[in-house]
Amino acid sequence: MTSRSIKLPAGPAAVARQIPTSVPAGAATPAALAERLRQPGLGLVDTARAYIALTKPGIVLELLVIAVPAMILAEGGWPGLDLIALVLLGGALTGGGAQVINQWYDREIDGIMARTAQRPIPAGKIAPRHALLWGLLLSAVGGVQLLLTVNWLAALLALATIAFYVLIYTVWLKRSTVHNTVIGGVAGAAPPLVGWAAVTGGLDVGALGLFLTVFLWQPPHFWALALHYKDEYAAARIPMLPVVRGERETHRQTLIYAVLLAVSSLLLYATGDLGEIYLGAALLLGVAFVVQAWRLARGVILPMRLFFFSLIYLTTLFAAVALDVLVG
């Protein structure tokens, strides 16, 4: 009798080690990164631009866009320009700080992926230690500012978001499990909680409804990006869903989350927090999102089409939140 070995499936922690390590064109090797950091420094303007770029202003702006409607809903009207400005400032500082620390920790995989190889750290524009100090400074200043000018709960939520994003998502989940995007979505869904807490000093069902909507929005949003850059994520050994489970499973789960998102967005109307203006927008946008996800699964549209539509979806839905309160 001959013996046969049975190959067991790898657990989540082993997934990243099994992903191919080929390096795509345009990526930087560790030696190239070291050489870039030895190059002459940038001028003052270019250095300032690099430090600003580290904060990912586009992502921070999107987070702030969903915080303000949460404040309006919490207040039941306009909460005042001064409070909005203070929350936006604190949110920009803490959100930007989190993005900087994330890039400091991810500098090696950013250098491997062609999409991220030109970010300030892998491109050699900012030394890693300087980036880390910049991220910590922004985070600390933002937390203190929210504490002194808004309230302790808003500051605590903002700082907890940084800790979750950096320690739970970036350090642990991103490299170890295919569920990184789903669980990591807790951090991305926190801005409405911060905005709500800034107005009321607490949290309730309305805040949790907004949180749930953003939480369910994030997986299909980021899976669309991961589908487009599947080979680069594989080269960097990041176990994104398309890399580990394949495109077909990613399409299936994207459609499932699109349906869950469409349904969850109606909860704020069901609880009486919002009225007919929001209901109409949520229905139209929800159906459109499901249709786009279905078209992606059928190969009718490319992943980036869904990615950019998801940005329009979230911005428009939260604009409807504000409009319903202010006009309704």
29 pLDDT more than 60: no
Predicted confidence at residue 63, as pLDDT, reads 86
When the pLDDT of each residue in the chain is averaged and rounded to a whole number, the result is: 90
Residues 207-220, mean pLDDT to the nearest whole number: 97
**pLDDT tens, residue by residue, 127-161:** 999 999 999 999 999 999 999 999 999 999 999 99
In this structure, the dihedral spanned by the alpha carbons of residues 64, 66, 68 and 69, taken in order and rounded to 10 degrees, is 170
Residues 305-324, mean pLDDT to the nearest whole number: 98
Predicted confidence at residue 41, as pLDDT, reads 64
Task: Tell me how far apart the alpha carbons of residues 232 and 265 are, in angstroms, rounded to a whole number.
Answer: 33
> 101, 132 in Cβ contact below 8 A?
yes
Q: Which region among 31-35, 212-216, 283-287 has the lowest average model confidence (pLDDT)?
A: 31-35
In sequence order, the 6+-apart residues with CB closer than 8 A to the CB of 198 are: 71, 79, 83, 86, 87, 146, 150, 151, 154
As a whole-number percent, the residues of the chain with pLDDT over 90 amount to: 84
Residues 37-56, mean pLDDT to the nearest whole number: 82
Q: Over the range 287-316, which residues count as b (16 or more CB within 10 Å of their CB) and which as e?
A: ebbbebbbebbeeebebeebbebbeebbee
149-153: long-range contacts (C-beta < 8 A, 24 or more apart)?
149/86, 149/90, 150/83, 150/86, 150/87, 150/90, 150/198, 151/197, 151/198, 151/201, 153/197, 153/201, 153/202, 153/203
> 101, 145 in Cβ contact below 8 A?
no
Structure tokens at 64: 């702030």
Half-sphere exposure (CA, 13 Å, Cβ side) for 3?
Answer: 2
> 256, 220 in Cβ contact below 8 A?
no
Predicted confidence at residue 328, as pLDDT, reads 77
Predicted confidence at residue 2, as pLDDT, reads 39
**pLDDT tens, residue by residue, 274-306:** 999 999 999 999 999 999 999 999 999 999 999
As a whole-number percent, the residues of the chain with pLDDT over 70 amount to: 88
Predicted confidence at residue 64, as pLDDT, reads 85
**pLDDT tens, residue by residue, 180-207:** 999 999 999 999 999 999 999 999 999 9
14 pLDDT more than 70: no
Residues 6-23, mean pLDDT to the nearest whole number: 45
Question: 250 or 6, which is more confident?
Answer: 250
Predicted confidence at residue 19, as pLDDT, reads 57
> 134, 101 in Cβ contact below 8 A?
no
What is the C-alpha R_g of the chain? 21
Query: Taken in order 297, 300, 303, 305, is the CA torsion positive or negative?
Result: negative
Question: 6 or 253, which is more confident?
Answer: 253
Predicted confidence at residue 242, as pLDDT, reads 98
> 250, 239 in Cβ contact below 8 A?
no
Per DSSP, the residues of 107-137 read: HHHHHHSTTTTTSTTTTTSS-HHHHHHHHHH
> pLDDT confidence of 83, banded at 50, 70, 90?
very high
Structure tokens at 209: 């409804």
7 pLDDT more than 90: no
